[in-house]
Structure 1
Amino acid sequence: MAHPERPARLTSLLAELERSGLAADVDRIEAPPAPLERLLAVHDEGHVRAMRAAVERGARLLDQGDTAISTHSWRAALCAAGAGLEAAERILSGEWRNAFAAVRPPGHHAEHAQAMGFCLLNNVAVCARALREVHGIERVAIIDWDVHHGNGTQHAFEHDPSVFFLSLHQWPHYPGSGAADEHGSGEGEGTTRNLPLPAGSGDREWLAALEEGLREVESFAPEFILVSAGFDAHAADPLSGTCVTTAAYARMTEAVGALAQRCAQGRLLSMLEGGYDLAALASSAAAHLAALRGV
């Protein structure tokens, strides 16, 4: 049986963008690899070097054993992180209004010194840290609607008052974090918001939770919005027990896009996380991109 996080995820997604005509209406670039110094703003240097060495020696699994790798995994991970950095620069320069980084491997489970949940590098965290440290953005919001809680992203910023992390996810579910009472600590108290949703929840519940969460994001007044865009809350996904539809992902995108227009000069970048039913992933990502084009 094929591993859920496999190359066909991207090839199916890109084929749907071609079939729908969306590919002809957007700029598309090949992502450059992220530089080491940007990775080390989020991840432990020894861990980064150990991951690279594991890939180069032909290891098949990392850390907890749920993250499969091949000889191409390190390059893919560098380019996944680099996609966010490149897209953010183009948005800030005014060249692009917004962007969707169709990347793999995903990133939001990756911790400071641990790969897990199919994630090697925390792509969205690397981007958020660069927005703060390189580009001088004072307040960044991260909205994560993957069905699995973004533990790595939460832990990267739970003490940081300059980054607001909002997560909608199935609860209880892998990785076990993301309870409603996890809301940051220290100076970051109140800038983490978890909205856990039960198995069986669908469009109505997810859209209502997003509306609730976006009110708090708007009060934070972010200058740039990042989305960890997992599409595995879809009813067809084999790794979830929720019932979100493709149409709901378009509505969720429209809601976040409207918020970006109100408080972040429209600056919005989404990065692909999960989504393991190929047809559901492809249709949902296409609906997401179509909605972004209309923002």
Structure 2
Amino acid sequence: MNFGGPMPRRSIQCLSELRTHCARWLEPLENLAMSILYFFHPACRLHETSPGHPENGARLDAINDQLIASGVDPWLMSREAPAVTREQLERVHATAYLDALENAAPAESICYLDPDTVIGPHSIEAARHAAGAVVAAVDAVMTGDPRRAFCAVRPPGHHATRTRAMGFCLYNNVAVGTAHALAEYGLERVVVVDFDVHHGNGTEDIFHDEARVFMASSFEKDLWVESSPQKAGDNMLWLEFAPGTQSAAYRERFEKELLPAVDAFRPQLLMISAGFDAHHDDEISHLYLTSEDYGWLTQKLTEIADPHCEGRLVSVLEGGYNLAALGRSVAAHLNALLD
């Protein structure tokens, strides 16, 4: 053994080889820690709406195209979503409602459930996989790595109440996933942050009296009367923004009011209803956020998830109807989840 002199050349070579082998072995683990689970299902593309309807399959295409163009795609671990079970749906929806929804699905063409909400031959299948994606995402982040997941699914869900489809939504996807986390993992504190430009009235309806869930919703005031919030309970926080609100004012209230309330709840799992329709290019609303704002608010939420939840976070697509803005905003959102 040589304790004082230079290391023999063969030892140096062996050490170099060891480092090379270790780097090759560690690289997949490093990539895993830096990746995001990306849940999808082809059926979600087949959910039909009427011509000109803002909620259509081209939304998913726009997201996929932008994720490739922005360089985010290689960091995504794609998973095809399973279908939700009836038991999982009945945790948040009434049995009679589920039966009526299935009976309403036409064999051909489309049927309007209300002036905004459409159901077609493939809609139930799409909705089952959309809700199933969130259940699978919860299972994944609760039991292993990566600890962050995004569900690129449609139809959206946050307007669906316990007994009613509305606002483009059939099943309340984020609520199904949240209820699954409570039932299967015994969690005592789950936060749902909804930053869609419309209030998540369906999620409010389902969890209004559930002390284990804290819901924080930021939205444009009086944008859509059907989603107007009720009086917030102790487990709910509303951030109403006046039409015309721009980035600086939005960020200030988000940081001073919403984030401290979420942090104080000390969530064991963070769920996001990720709507991107408050973007200044989205004609459905009158707020003026940018794609960079979505990256900023996402990073702020990860700073809460990391210490409280060990990073466990599931994000679920809701609104966003200007295709270019939607793609850029989702890319910014996922980039922030990676960071």
Cα 1:34–1:175 shift into 2, 3 Å: farther
Q: Is 1:19 aligned to 2:69, yes or no? A: yes
Counterpart for residue 223 of structure 2: 173
Shift in Å at residue 46 of structure 1?
Answer: 1.6
Deviates more, 1:217-226 or 1:15-24: 15-24
Q: In the alignment, what sits opposite 1:204? A: 248
- Aligned identity (percent) is 40
Alignment correspondent of 2:181: 131
Cα displacement (A) at 1:108: 0.2
Distance apart, 1:57 and its partner CA:
3.5
Q: Distance in 2 between matches of 1:209 and 1:264?
A: 24
Per-residue deviation, 1:287: 0.6
What's 2:144 paired with?
A: 94
Give how far 1:56 is off.
4.2
- Which letter does structure 1 place at the counterpart of 2:231? E
Deviation of 1:176 (Å): 4.6
Which of 263, 275, 279 is equivalent to 1:218? 263
For 2:265 and 2:156, locate their aligned partners in 1 and report how far apart those are by CA, in whole Å.
26
Q: TM-score with structure 2 length normalisation? A: 0.82
Q: After superposition, where does 1:240-251 map in structure 2 within 5 Å?
A: 240-251=285-296
Q: Distance in 2 between matches of 1:175 and 1:117?
A: 11
1:71-97, Cα deviation, whole Å (9 max, x unpaired): 111111011101111011110112222
Q: Where do 4+ consecutive residues of structure 1 move more than 2 Å?
A: 56-65, 175-179
CA distance, structure 1, for counterparts of residue 186 and residue 112 of structure 2: 34
| Matched position secondary structure for 2:191 | strand
Which residue of structure 2 lines up, in the alignment, with residue 192 of structure 1?
236
Match of residue 126 from structure 2: 76
Aligned to 1:120: 170
Alignment partner of 1:283 is 2:314 = no
Q: Which amino acid aligns with 1:251?
A: W
What letter is aligned with 1:133?
A
- Residue from 282, 301, 323 that aligns with 1:256: 301
Q: Which runs of 5+ in 2 are unaligned?
A: 1-50
Q: Secondary structure at the match of 1:134?
A: helix
Among 231, 246, 251, the alignment partner of 1:182 is 231
CA RMSD of superposed structures (Å): 1.4
Distance 1:260 1:33 in 2: 27
TM superposition score normalised by structure 1? 0.94
SS of alignment partner, residue 39 of structure 1? helix
CA distance in 2, matches of 1:50, 1:238: 33
CA distance in 1, matches of 2:235, 2:108: 40
Aligned residue number for residue 191 of structure 2: 141
Task: Quote the Cα distance in structure 2 between the aligned partners of 1:141 and 1:178.
Answer: 20
The one of 313, 317, 334 equivalent to 1:272 is 317
Partner amino acid for 2:85?
P
Q: Distance in 2 between matches of 1:145 and 1:235?
A: 14
Tell me the residue number matched to 1:111.
161
The alpha-carbon deviation at position 177 of structure 1 amounts to 4.4
> Matched residues in 2 for 1:242 and 1:39: separation?
33
Q: 1:209-239, CA deviations, whole angstroms, 9 ceiling, x for partnerless residues?
A: 2211110111111100000000000001121
Per the alignment, residue 54 of structure 2 pairs with 4
Does the CA contact (< 8 Å) of 2:198 and 2:227 recur in 1? no
Please, which of 16, 23, 46 is the counterpart of residue 96 of structure 2? 46
Structure 1: tracts of 5 or more residues without a match: 185-189
What letter corresponds to residue 282 of structure 2 in structure 1? D
The alpha-carbon deviation at position 262 of structure 1 amounts to 2.1
Deviates more, 1:143-152 or 1:197-206: 197-206
Match of 2:31 in 1: none
Q: Quickly say closer, same or farther: Cα 1:141–1:72, change in 2 above 3 A.
A: same
Q: Is the 8 A contact 1:182 1:194 kept in 2?
A: no
Q: Which amino acid aligns with 1:274?
A: G
Q: Deviations over 1:174-205 (max 9, x none)?
A: 145455x7222xxxxx1110010011112112
**1:187 is matched with which residue?**
none
2:110 pairs with one of 47, 50, 60: 60
d(CA) in 2 for partners of 1:96 and 1:56?
A: 39
**SS of 1:29's equivalent?**
strand
Contact 1:229 1:273 in 2 (8 A): yes
Aligned AA for 2:130? A
Alpha-carbon distance, 1:58 to partner: 3.7
